[in-house]
Structure 1
Amino acid sequence: MYKFLDGCPRISYSIVGKGLPLIFLHGIGGNSLNWQDQQKYFSKNFTTIAWNARGYSLSEDYTGPLKFSDFSKDLLRLIDSLNIKKAHFVGLSMGARILMDFYSNNKIRIASLTLCDCYYSFKNFLNPKERKKYIEIRQKPLLEGKSLTDLAPEIIKSLVSPNCSESVRKKIYESLSKIRKESYLKTIKEATNYDVTHQLSSFTVPVQLIYGEDDKLTPPSLGLEIKNKINGSKLSIIKDAGHLPNIEQPKKFNDVLEEFLSQYKNCAEYYGKT
């Protein structure tokens, strides 16, 4: 069931289940539907919430450039509106980067973090000139008139494992076809230049890292780097999955997440409830 958070911009989100809050954040090519398998499974024991970030799906567009702090402010508005004091958060790729930013000013609102198939900085392996070229290569086809639907077949190849099923490929295609070009272009630029390297060592909340074994965009070796930077964090590798393990291997993904959440479930809470 979709609900809407009024404000600027208006944010849409899917909310299913009853219990302590568990919030899912999609990646740059996704939307709330990417978390259907997780909402269906975890709604038995949690109030599951999957948002559409600003500029995505049923959420409103926005004017001007994008900053990751904008996403964080939207997320804070959302949990405040739902009377959530502390939530469990799960973010994939861009969604995980949003949570890294959210942590910097909202640590006390986080019961646990699950960060999936993400990176923390391009600056460690691309200089400013290379980052500019990286952005231009990804923006050029769209600026020349192509749509995400046109580019979807090649994008999907880069996202999935070699043995990915056709049904999963179809889900990803449908997700990509719903992206608004302008939002995508702005997000690519901000995501490439955003850097949270200095923050990771300060994380003190429980952190679970999940990576697809066949992820070509953010390989498991990157997950190991992050694990070494976040004291006490755990790293799990999902076999037969690429950049989207929650979609390619939902059962394996859910098993890892369930085991992690079982240790910290009651750390989440609502205001006014004990």
Structure 2
Amino acid sequence: MALQIKEQNGFQYVDEGSGDVLLLLHGLFGALSNWQDVVAEFSSRYRVLIPLLPIYDMPLTKAGISGLVGFVEDFVAEIGLVEACTVLGNSLGGHIALVYTLRNPRRVARLVLTGSSGLFEDSMGGSFPKRGNYAYVEERVAYTFYDPAVATRELVDEVFSVTNSNAKCLRIITIARSAQRHNLAKELGNIKVPTLLVWGLNDTITPPVVAHEFNRLIRGSELCFLDQCGHAPMMERPHEFNRLLQRFLQRTAVPAEQP
């Protein structure tokens, strides 16, 4: 399904379906389309919201984890979302989801992390990407996945376009370094909501040892690995990811109140 992007007071976002809300957050080089298979699967039963994070054009003074969490808070307020929702985050989006949950515990009913930063990551964002070097960008994008074929020409072209802009690169580096400095190890014990961790067994950016550490630090969290899968399970193994997500949502659903 083609995602329909809505605009409201400077926010661009996907808003599909109705029901309990799934709030999806993409990563540093991510896009709304990263969650396309989740939208296709769940929008018939849930309201799926995906804000486009202003990674490439936010003010440099706000370019960092705190600024992005503030953006999500503003987005939630703008669309008038009052009920607690399920927050899902991939990579940097997972990091933002964690801090959002810590800052707004009553607004989060459940948390789903996949390839999340917040403890450790090894990515292209920490140094200035090689401008104009298509082969380098192609190699780094392929590094995200177990199967390099998932790194389509369209996806590589999109990242290459970003790395050709000095202004965008500067923001990427600033945000990536903010994420690296913002280690959450001492705070994760404060997360009380049901939490699902879905990790690629072949993730080279946030390796399986990172998933085990999240599992240890977030009490009661559930950890599931997908074999032959890299840093973005919802893209590389969408059917398996959706099956695990559906099972988690059903198991942790709050029973409806009796009249």
TM-score (norm 1): 0.81
- Residue 157 of structure 1, CA deviation: 3.1
Query: What whole-Å deviation, never above 9, does each CA across 1:20-56 have from its counterpart, x for those lacking one?
Result: 1101101111111111111111101011111211134
**What SS does the corresponding residue of 1:91 show, helix, strand or coil?**
strand
Is 1:235 the equivalent of 2:220? no
Corresponding position of 2:119: 121
| Partner AA of 1:158 in structure 2 | Y
Query: Which residue of 149, 152, 156 corresponds with 1:166?
Result: 149
Residue 9 (structure 2) pairs with residue 28 (structure 1): no
User: Structure 1 197/74 Cα, relative in aligned 2: closer, same or farther at 3 Å?
Assistant: same
Partner of 1:271: none
User: In the alignment, which of 185, 195, 211 is matched to residue 183 of structure 2?
Assistant: 195
Distance across 2 between alignment mates of 1:137 and 1:80 = 30
Cα deviation for residue 151 of structure 1 reads 3.4
Q: 1:166 to 1:196 in 2, by over 3 A?
A: same
Find the aligned partners of 2:126 and 2:64 in 1 and give their Cα distance.
19
**Contact 1:30 1:175 survives alignment (8 Å):** no
In the aligned structure 1, how far is the partner of 2:28 from the partner of 2:218? 24
Deviations along 1:50-98, one digit per CA (max 9) or x if unpaired, are: 1211134xxx532425231211111112222222221111000100100
In the alignment, the residues of structure 1 paired with residue 134 and residue 215 of structure 2 have an alpha-carbon distance, to the nearest angstrom, of 35
Q: In the alignment, which residue of structure 1 is the partner of 2:5?
A: 2
Aligned to 2:50: 50
Shift of 1:165: 5.9
Amino acid at match of 1:154: E
Q: Paired residue for 1:254, among 221, 242, 254? A: 242
Cα pair 1:115 1:209 within 8 Å, conserved: yes
Task: Map 1:1-274 to 2 at 5 A.
Answer: 1-6=4-9, 10-56=10-56, 60-84=57-81, 85-122=83-120, 138-142=126-130, 146-147=131-132, 151-161=136-146, 164=147, 166-170=149-153, 172-177=155-160, 179=162, 180-266=168-254
Code of the residue aligned with 2:72 in structure 1: it is: L
Name the Cα RMSD after superposition. 2.7
Unpaired segments ≥5 residues, structure 1: 126-133, 269-273
CA distance in 1, matches of 2:19, 2:37: 18
1:137/1:228 CA distance change after superposition, 3 Å: closer
Q: Map Cα deviations across residues 232-273 of structure 1 (whole Å, 9 max, x no partner).
A: 1000101211011111111011111111111234489xxxxx
Counterpart-to-counterpart distance in 1, 2:135 and 2:255 = 44
Deviation at 1:175, TM superposition (A): 4.5
- Any gaps of 5 or more consecutive residues in structure 2? 163-167
Q: Which has the higher contact order (CA 8 A, sep 6+)?
A: 1
- How far apart, in 2, do the equivalents of 1:31 and 1:149 lie? 19
- How many correspondences in the alignment? 248
What is the aligned partner in structure 1 of residue 165 from structure 2? Answer: none
